[in-house]
Amino acid sequence: MVSGKVGFVGLGIMGTPMARNLMRAGYDLLVYNRSARNAARLAEEGAGVVDNLRELAERSSLIITMLPGPPEVEEVTKNLLEGAIEGSLIIDMSTSSPVLARELAQSARERGVGMLDAPVSGGDVGAIEGTLSIMAGGAREDFDRASPLFEVMGGNVVHVGEAGAGQLTKAANQIVVAIVMEATSEALVLAERSGVEPQKLIEALSGGLAANKVMELKREKFLSHEFTPGGKVVYHLKDLGIALETAREYGVSLPVTALVKEMFVSLVAKGRGGWDHSAILTLVEELSGQEG
């Protein structure tokens, strides 16, 4: 178990249950969130609350951030570094840019602070159950130091390489999730149009080579068309943008990823950016002239 206070920044759909699991494991948590309501809810459960990032950094030996994307990660990390204690460790668990992750890790090192990029996969269900897949980039000694925290929040924890490697791995993850989600949507629409019940299709596919985690975790959303977000369309669109930007940097062609990204652009244009990313099903239905 890690000693000292653990700071936590970002109490959204993912951050709140992750922070709660750390508290339940006995960690002394200090939280900051732009929306005071979520912080107040955790305060009722025993968390300490601060009203600025510098104070959180000054009082924490390890700090976890769980933020929407690169702009927020950059701003928050720079503020944290202003007050960070020498020898402390910042663990960014947001989905962000590999290039930015490397730059921030360098800035942290110059101040005597460790930094990991450790994005997650598993959605809100994984965050609540503490079964997230965590892909961490950074120095091995920093990973080892953070491992007790990762074991509370995740079920599959892998040190994938140096700074930026975690974000590169998450970009790959988001490519697979998006394409599998779109393929599953196509299969469901084809089945329903041809008279096969969607739930029977999922049941049949789940026992063979087409079985996948997306279909398992998003089953009820696909069948009910109730798209309360576990992972928002707008965030997955951002993630695919990061993946394509990274691919350009390395000279890699991602033609299907580019196509699926445009489908997420269409969902946002239709006002569904705040829906769960499994709502790509609704777009396939509409392209097929089918009501959801």
Please list the active-site residues.
170
Residues 6+ apart with CB under 8 A from 62: 2, 4, 6, 7, 88, 89, 90, 91, 145, 146, 149
- Give the DSSP letter string of the chain: ---S-EEEE--STTHHHHHHHHHHTT--EEEE-SSHHHHHHHHTTT-EE-SSHHHHHHH-SEEEE--SSHHHHHHHHHHHHHHPPTT-EEEE-S---HHHHHHHHHHHHHTT-EEEE--EESHHHHHHHT-EEEEEES-HHHHHHHHHHHHHHEEEEEEEESTTHHHHHHHHHHHHHHHHHHHHHHHHHHHHHTT--HHHHHHHHTTSTT--HHHHHSHHHHHH-----SSBHHHHHHHHHHHHHHHHHHT---HHHHHHHHHHHHHHHTT-TTSBGGGHHHHHHHHTT---
Q: Which residue has the tokens 């925290």?
A: 149
What CA–CA distance (Å, rounded) separates 222 from 279? 8
CA 57 to chain CA centroid, Å, is 22
